[in-house]
Amino acid sequence: MVCSATISGCSDLAQFDVYLNPIGAMDNVPFVVDVQADHLDRLPARMVIPLGRPNDTLRPTRQLNPLLSVTGEPLVLITQHAAAVPARVLGRKIASLADHRSDIIAALDFLFTGV
């Protein structure tokens, strides 16, 4: 099942907000989703997970890589590539995946605990 993101023009950093990938050269990974808790908003970095286009080299596993949708495009949450980035590079919010919190948290749980 593909879940859709809510489109919004807000630019505040918040958990589950989606941004353009700050590494612009990655055409197959157009977005990142911020997974850092909102109460840690004063830290200079944010933990993000890339959102990539499904292809021959990116074969999602259901628990680790849920299929989501941003601006109508199906994308895979590449949980195993989560990384911290400077908050200042995230730019303007594109969408929110807050409605799919449980899928994202489950993928993080699977990454860290295997459950």
Q: How far is CA 74 from CA 3, 84, 103, 105, in A?
A: 8, 24, 15, 19
CATH number of the domain to which 62 belongs:
2.30.30.110
pLDDT at 100: 97
Range of the domain at 97: 3-113
Q: What angle do CA 91, 51, 57 make, to 5 degrees?
A: 140
pLDDT at 7: 44
User: Domain total for the chain?
Assistant: 1
Tell me: the pLDDT tens digits for 46-97?
999 999 999 867 777 889 999 999 999 999 999 999 999 999 999 999 999 9
Q: Give the global pTM.
A: 0.87
pLDDT at 12: 77
CA–CA separation, 49 and 28 (whole Å): 14
Tell me: the pLDDT tens digits for 15-48?
999 999 998 778 899 999 999 999 998 999 999 9
pLDDT at 45: 96
Stretch 3-22: mean pLDDT, rounded?
71
